[in-house]
């Protein structure tokens, strides 16, 4: 790290070596380093955390002057932050049609917008979700568009929900092409064959073709 990113000024004490499962405890459940993995057997979390997640894909480098503006916006909003996940390498060699996950060649990195809070209630929920949306909206000029793409694992109901009525396909397409791009219709065809009654569904599940949409 010091050879490639000397400006970070990292020392060995800043780094934590861990197994994969230890990293899951640290990053997703906020347990301190070296927490035994059998803590996963406990059904009560150490604290109650509410959260909101959104995502973006970056196809062109962001100019340094624009990064400065982004940092200022984050300071203004205080709570939301971003996590960058680099893409490229082997991912660029796999066709976006080979698996349902399409975000391959051309993406430099993925951004996850994160906001966590511990205060319950609608007022707190609306406040922190609004902060996340403000950061996401501010970032609009820098990211993929037509459609603006998103990562399926960070479920974002802001992109749309499916009520599974007569407009099920169109409702599903609103968020489906952002998650799956050109693979969305193929996923609908598969879903229609294996679950024609749409028994397995949620607010952002793949819809089925009906007589109106087939």
Of 101, 89, 87, 97, residue with least CA distance to 58 = 87
Burial of 190 (0-12, 13-18, 19+ CB in 10 A): middle
Q: Which of 113, 154, 169, 179 is catalytic?
A: 154
Question: What is the DSSP secondary structure assignment for residue 153, as one 8-state letter?
Answer: T
Looking at the DSSP bridge assignments, the partners of residue 115 are: 52
Q: Would you list the DSSP string of 11-64?
A: -GGG-----HHHHHHHHHS-PPTT--GGGGG-SS-SS--EEEEEEEEE-SPPPH
CA distance linking residue 125 with residue 114, whole number of Å: 14
Question: Is 154 a known active-site residue?
Answer: yes
CA distance linking residue 125 with residue 157, whole number of Å: 14
Residues recognised as catalytic = 154
């Amino acid at each position: 790290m010091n050879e490639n990113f000397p400006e970070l000024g990292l020392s060995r004490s800043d780094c934590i070596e861990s197994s994969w499962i230890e990293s899951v405890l640290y990053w997703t459940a906020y347990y301190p380093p070296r927490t035994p993995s059998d803590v996963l057997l406990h059904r009560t979390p150490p604290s109650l955390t509410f959260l909101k997640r959104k995502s973006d894909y970056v196809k062109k480098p962001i100019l340094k002057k624009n990064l400065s503006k982004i940092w200022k916006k984050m300071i203004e909003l205080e709570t939301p932050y971003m996590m960058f996940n680099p893409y490229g390498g082997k991912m660029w060699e796999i066709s976006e049609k080979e698996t349902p996950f399409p975000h391959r060649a051309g993406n430099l990195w993925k951004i996850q917008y994160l906001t966590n809070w511990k205060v319950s209630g609608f007022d707190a929920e609306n406040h922190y979700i609004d902060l996340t949306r403000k950061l996401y909206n501010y970032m609009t000029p820098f990211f993929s568009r037509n459609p603006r793409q998103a990562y399926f694992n960070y479920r974002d109901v802001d992109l749309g929900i499916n009520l599974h009525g007569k407009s099920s396909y169109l409702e599903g397409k609103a968020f489906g092409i952002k998650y799956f791009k050109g693979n969305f219709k193929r996923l609908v065809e598969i879903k229609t064959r294996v679950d024609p009654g749409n028994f397995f569904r949620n607010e952002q599940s793949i819809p089925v073709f009906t007589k109106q949409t087939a």
